[in-house]
Each structure stands twice: as C-alpha cells, then as structure tokens.
Amino acid sequence: MTDGKTAPELSALTAPVVDSDTLVVYRSPGPLKKTTAATFADYIKAFFSASGGSALVGFLQGGTGAVARTVQTKMRDAINAADFGVVANGTTDDGPALRLALAAGVSLGRPVALPKTTASILVSYDPASSLGGGLYAYSILVPSGTRLITNGATIKAANGITSWNRVVTFENQSNIVVEGVLRVDANAANRGTPVNEHMHGVYFYDSSDIRIPDGIDSQNAVGDNIYVGGTSNTVGTTRVWIGDVYCKTAGRKNFVSQCSRNVFIGNCLFDNINGGSAVGGAADTTECNSLDIEPDSFTGAVPNDITFGNIVTYGSGNDFTSGTTATQADAWVLRFKSLTSYITPKATVAPWVQNAITIIGEEVKISGITSTSAQISIAYAARLLIRDVEITGSNTDAMVMVANTGGEVPVVRIGTLRLTNTNAASTSTAGAGLNNDGGIVDIGDFYPVVNNTAAWNRGTSASDAGALRIGRMFAKNIGEPGFGNYGILQSFLGGAVESYLEIGLIDYEDTRGTKLDRVVYLAGTTGSRVHILGYANRSAVELVAWEAATGYYNNGTRSTVSKGTPEAMITAGIGSSNLRVDGSNGTALYTKESGTGNTGWRPIAGYLSGSATYDAPSLLTMGTTTTTVTVTGAAVGDFASCSFGVNLAGLVASAYVSAADTVTVALFNPTVGSVDLASTTLRARVSKV
C-alpha cells in the first residue's frame, strides 16, 4: 500500500502505484497527492487533449544519432487538411477548410495531405474569385509553393456550380508539386444555371514549374476536363510535367492546350463517348472532341509546344488548329509517341482536323470513320510528320483530305500509310482513299484497301497544284468498274502550275473478273505530270491512260512518255528521249538535242513503207525501166529506198518520192547481156525529213 511510504520512497517510484481505489501522484514542486484512479484518468485526458498536450510528449526517431523531439514538433512536419476542418464526407462543403490548409502549408513551408477517404472532398465557390453577378472563377486556387499529397482523395465540385467556375485552378502560380494522382470530379450532372464552356475540371493558366508526376484523373466537366493555357502570344503555361492522364466525359473537350511551352504529359486516355450536350456542353455537331489544340488569336510570334507519350482517345475525334498561315504552323508544335483514336461518329464532327499546326509523332491509328462523320481534314499550312499511319472505316468520301486553303500549302510526310475504306463505290468519291487538293504529300510505302480511287492528286488553280510522291504502292483489287475505275487519279483543272505525281514502284494485282482499267489516270485539261520508276504488273492492267489533252510521265531513266509534243512541256537533259502516245509517223519519237530546259526536242524521222508485186521486163545492156509503189504519207523530198525479193543479177535499183504518197523505183542494167527478173515483191521505204 502507498499510504505508509515516505516521500523519498515515493519519489523513487518510476511509475504510479495503484491499489484498489487510490493513486498517488508526485508533483514537483508540490506535496504528494492522493486521488482516485477515475479522477486521475480524467485529469490526464484533459491535460493531454489541450492544445499544448502534444508538446509534453517526447519522440525519438529510431537509428543512431536521432535527436529527441516532442510529438507536437514531429506531427507538424506535415499538414493534414483535416487539421483545418476538412471532413471529406462527400456532403459538407470542405472548400473553406481546404483553402486554409493550403495557405498554411505555403506560409509554414510544409506539405499538405488530403485525408485518406473513399468519399469526396466537396468544394464550392471561393468567394475571393467573384466575377460579379453571382459568378465565380474557381473553387480551389493552388498557391505558389504548394506541396500537395492527395492520398487518393477526389476533389469534387459541389452541386449547383455555374458558369466560369473551375474546380482546381493553377493560375499565375509556380513551384508546385502534387504527389499522388490529382483526382477531380467537376460534377456536371449536378450543375447549376447558367453554364458555359469555361467550366473546367483542372485549369492551368500562365503558370510555371508545376510537377504532378503521378498524373491527373479529371472527369465530368461542362467545359474541358483539363485546360492548359495563358495569355495569347506568350509562352502561357510553361515547364509543367504531368504523369499519366485520364479524362472522361466533357461537355466540350477532354484536354485542351491553348498556350503552352515545355509542357510534358505522360500516357493519356481520353474518353468522350458520352460527352457533349448530354453533360451541359455545346451541341454535339460542333464540340465534344477528345484532344484539342486551339490557341486564341495566335500570331506565331512566340513558339508554343506540348509533348505527350502514348495517347488513346474515344469519341468523335480530335481537333488541332492554330490558325491559317505557315508562320503559325511553324510556331505551334504538337508531339507524341503514338495516337490511337477510336471514333464514335457524331454528325459533322471531323475525326481529325488539322489547320496550320505542326504535328510530329511515331504512330497514328484512327478507326471507326463512317459516313456520319466528316473525313480527316489537313488544311491551310498544316505540317504532319508521322512514321506510321493506319486509317480504317467506311466513308462515302475520301478518308483523308489534304487541301490548299487560302493559298497556304499543307505538307504531309508519312513513312508508311495503310488506308482502308470499305464503303462500296457508288459515286465518284465514295469508298476512296486520299484526296490531295493542292498539298505536298510524301508517302514512303502506301497500302490502300479501297473500293474506289486509292489517291486523287489534283489542283484547281495556278496556286494549288498538288504534289504527291509515293515511294512504293502495294495494292490489290482497288477501284470499282463504272465508279473510279483507276487506282490513282492525277488531274489538274486549270491554271498554269503543274500537278505533280511521282511513284517509285507500283505493285498491283487484280484477281477480279472485271479488272481495273488502268492504274494511273491522267485527267483534266493541262498540267498533269507523272514520274513512275517501276511497275510490277501482275494482272495485265494498263499502267497509264489519258483524258487530258497534254501530260507526261517518265520511267525513271532518261525516257519520258507524253501525250502531246514534249517541246515546251518536258524539262530534260540532252540525250533524253520521249515517246508520244498520240503521235503518228514522224511524231511518235523525240530526242532532246539541245538546251537544258523544256525546249530543244526534235522528232526522230519515222519510216513509211509500201509494197507491190512487180514483174520487171527483160532489160538489155544499158537498158532502164521504172515502176511506182504507193507509200501513204510520203512527200516529195523525203528519203526513199527499195528492195526486191529476188537476186538483181547485177541490175542497179534506185528509188525516190516522185509525188505525194508515191515512190518511183528505177532499174538499170549496166551488165553485158540482157537480164530478165522473175516476178517478185517490191518494197519501198520512206524516211521522213
């Protein structure tokens, strides 16, 4: 029992001594006190639950050299948002408490952790972001210097959010690190009114040096799930590194980059199948794409760029537009490792729109294009550089349209293009492949699987003549008799600039009963120019046919083939030759005899011939006789020669053109004695001058 112990004995105790109903506590300075266990427990509870209680409890980290601290000091190494009142129950507005926690984290230089919870952290408007008229710019503004630890929690917009509000905003901020996936639910299903396209999930604007290595999961925005931008014609948001990104269901776009420099994103999955007007966005006929590059009033004065890893998109397509000019195209660059797009068509929403922007990547795959969706459009001064492209679908138009728009020439360079259009040809364009209308298109290997024309290369004015260069084309059973019964259509419909086609090798096979009429068809009035280096004809299909009045192709040597005279049309070196398919005797074959331009061509003299059965009379010594042979096309002054089907036995024969279409043949006997030739065939040949 404790009652009989002395003070020194009690002071030596290392722990409270308890009997059946009492507890003695030694206080220094002060006397010994005796109290009940229950009363002492209440005292201890009140003492340590006070604000300073944790400062009275010691903490020592394991390991040699650890320094003793209090529990309070240890626990203040990091801030939990719950310390400021975040309850994370999915119903309470945690916005005010979370904003206080973030501000404290910056002021104290400590990370802020979100509570580990399966419920959402609900956030409403930040009153400090008032735009007037009951509208607000954001719910949570992440301040500069923040280190946020998400712990898997989801930040969700409160019910009734209206126009302009962004759930999580990085605007005019810098030096921010987010650990763990930043999960945001913009709660479009419970939106208020009014709404507009600026109601984003995660919003970056004129901010820098932000790292979110574990990525972002942003869903259900009325506007964009993620928006990256800034002041027009600046670097905007810059030096941002984000890990993998998942976006689903946006009224406008899943991911938008408007103005950025040195922004790097990991692998991305963008799903907007159920986006658009269904979640308060714009009409489905104008919006609801997945990935969008859309600078505002971009001049190209300040370069912008963004880089992704592998991208997969579901929905109506993707939109890349920085303007209309080459200056703008050169200044805005989108890079990715690969982009795979599964199209769920929506009327008039193109699966790929690219205007005046440079896109560089290793691989593009687009599938699901139908007649409901528009074709892939590459226009103005767009630049597309992709190693491998595969496009499949069933469209009543060409799958890909490259168009010179406003005098700006798009440039497309693809290593390997696999293009499939399964639509049955029923019009001039249904089931077609590539339509190059005034662009510059270079394709290494081309594998078309189409029911109509594989490629259409054309121009319509002096400023938009198309240039299509294909290294090798491998095709089988393309074209449809009666509708586009040719593999490649080369046409030019006006102006003075050549429409140009060059193919290294065409490897074509046709196993159908009714085969393709011709592999390449030159159509239009002027300007068709074709160079074909090789043709592997596996099915006896004609290589080239003409509709055009003039045009030519060459076979990769110093030879060309033309319709019309090569003079003033074909540029070649001296010694080159040209076969004119519409030529006649004396105008079918030309040689280049002078100059380095397109003049100096001269037709090679043709040979005309005729024959007749001739029984010459017996000729005495020094006797002569003549006869005539009809040679159509012969003219006085042409060179003429003749031959007999028997031995002339010393007689001398000569020939000359005596009149139009007439060759006179003379026999002279210089021998001693008479000569009587047997009846034979007399042949005359005329060389045109």
Q: Helix, strand, or coil here: 655?
A: strand
Encode pLDDT of 249-266 as tens digits.
Answer: 999 999 999 999 999 999
- Domain range for 21 is 1-53
> Within 10 A of 51 (CB to CB), how many other CB atoms are there?
7
The pLDDT value recorded for residue 331 is: 95
The pLDDT value recorded for residue 114 is: 96
The pLDDT value recorded for residue 406 is: 79
Q: HEC string of 91-157?
A: CCECHHHHHHHHHHHHHHCCCEECCCCCCCEEECCCHHHEEECCEECEEEECCCCCEEECCCCEEEE
| pLDDT mean across residues, the chain | 85
The pLDDT value recorded for residue 501 is: 84
The pLDDT value recorded for residue 327 is: 94
The pLDDT value recorded for residue 602 is: 86
The pLDDT value recorded for residue 437 is: 86
What's the CA gap between 148 and 216, in Å, rounded?
13
The pLDDT value recorded for residue 411 is: 95
Query: Which of the two residues, 303 and 288, has the higher pLDDT score?
Result: 303
Domain-terminating residue out of 53, 71, 90: 53
Q: Are 269 and 312 in contact (CB under 8 A)?
A: yes
pLDDT (average), residues 525-549: 70
- Smallest CA-to-CA distance from 219 within 193, 181, 192 is with 181
Total of domains in the chain: 2
pTM of the model: 0.78
Give the least confident one: 31-45, 228-242, 312-326, 521-535.
31-45
**Environment class of 5 (CB within 10 Å of its CB; exposed 0-12, middle 13-18, buried 19+):** middle
pLDDT above 80 (res 29): no
On whether residue 620 sits in a domain, the answer given is yes
Residues 6+ apart with CB under 8 A from 126: 95, 99, 136, 137, 138, 139, 140, 141
What's the CA gap between 263 and 177, in Å, rounded?
15
Q: Are 205 and 172 in contact (CB under 8 A)?
A: yes
Q: Are 525 and 549 in contact (CB under 8 A)?
A: yes
Query: Which of the two residues, 571 and 590, has the higher pLDDT score?
Result: 590
Query: Which of the two residues, 373 and 624, has the higher pLDDT score?
Result: 624
pLDDT above 80 (res 663): yes
> Within 10 A of 654 (CB to CB), how many other CB atoms are there?
13
The pLDDT value recorded for residue 115 is: 94
Q: HEC string of 199-255?
A: CCCEEEECCEEEEECCCEEEEEECCCCEEEECCCCCCCEEEEEECCEEEEEECCCCE
On whether residue 31 sits in a domain, the answer given is yes
Domain-terminating residue out of 33, 53, 73: 53
Encode pLDDT of 214-243 as tens digits.
Answer: 999 999 999 999 999 999 999 999 999 999
Residue 605 pLDDT class (50, 70, 90 cuts) = confident
Residue 593 pLDDT class (50, 70, 90 cuts) = confident
Query: Which of the two residues, 63 and 551, has the higher pLDDT score?
Result: 63
Torsion 398-399-400-401 (CA) sign: positive
What's the CA gap between 10 and 15, in Å, rounded?
10
Strand partners, 280: none
On whether residue 368 sits in a domain, the answer given is no
The pLDDT value recorded for residue 4 is: 45
Residue 238 amino acid letter: T
Domain-terminating residue out of 19, 38, 53: 53
Number of helical (H) and strand (E) elements in the chain, helices listed first? 5, 57
Give the least confident one: 484-488, 613-617, 645-649, 682-686.
484-488
- 502 alpha carbon, distance to own chain's centre: 23
Torsion angles phi and psi, residue 83, rounded to 5: -60, -20
pLDDT (average), residues 538-555: 66
For 406-498, list the strands marked E by DSSP.
411-421, 434-437, 440-450, 455-459, 467-476, 486-492
The pLDDT value recorded for residue 5 is: 46
On whether residue 648 sits in a domain, the answer given is yes
On whether residue 141 sits in a domain, the answer given is no
On whether residue 659 sits in a domain, the answer given is yes
DSSP assignment string, 538-586: SS--EEEEE-SSSEEEE-SSSEEEEES--TTT----TT-EEEETT--TT
Encode pLDDT of 445-471 as tens digits.
Answer: 999 998 888 888 876 655 566 789 999
Encode pLDDT of 85-142 as tens digits.
Answer: 999 999 999 999 999 999 999 999 999 999 998 899 999 999 999 999 989 999 999 9
What's the CA gap between 160 and 43, in Å, rounded?
47
Contacts 24+ apart (CB under 8 A), 669-673: 669/619, 669/620, 669/621, 669/622, 669/623, 669/624, 670/621, 670/622, 671/621, 672/621, 673/621
What's the CA gap between 54 and 540, in Å, rounded?
93
The CATH number of whichever domain residue 638 belongs to comes to: 2.70.40
The pLDDT value recorded for residue 444 is: 96
- Smallest CA-to-CA distance from 486 within 438, 419, 403, 428 is with 428
Q: How many residues does the chain have?
A: 689
Torsion angles phi and psi, residue 558, rounded to 5: -90, 20
Encode pLDDT of 381-436 as tens digits.
Answer: 999 999 999 999 988 888 999 988 877 899 999 999 999 988 876 666 667 889 88
Q: Helix, strand, or coil here: 282?
A: coil
Residue 562 pLDDT class (50, 70, 90 cuts) = confident
Give the least confident one: 4-13, 263-272, 363-372, 576-585.
4-13
Torsion angles phi and psi, residue 563, rounded to 5: -115, 115
Query: Which of the two residues, 224 and 36, has the higher pLDDT score?
Result: 224
The pLDDT value recorded for residue 564 is: 81
Encode pLDDT of 477-515 as tens digits.
Answer: 887 765 556 788 776 555 555 678 888 888 988 888 888
Q: HEC string of 355-397?
A: ECCEEEEEEEEEEEEECCCCCEEEECCCEEEEEEEEEEEECCC
pLDDT above 50 (res 313): yes
- Smallest CA-to-CA distance from 241 within 213, 217, 218 is with 213
The pLDDT value recorded for residue 483 is: 55
The pLDDT value recorded for residue 499 is: 72
The pLDDT value recorded for residue 607 is: 82
Encode pLDDT of 146-198 as tens digits.
Answer: 999 999 999 999 999 999 999 999 999 999 999 999 999 999 999 999 999 99
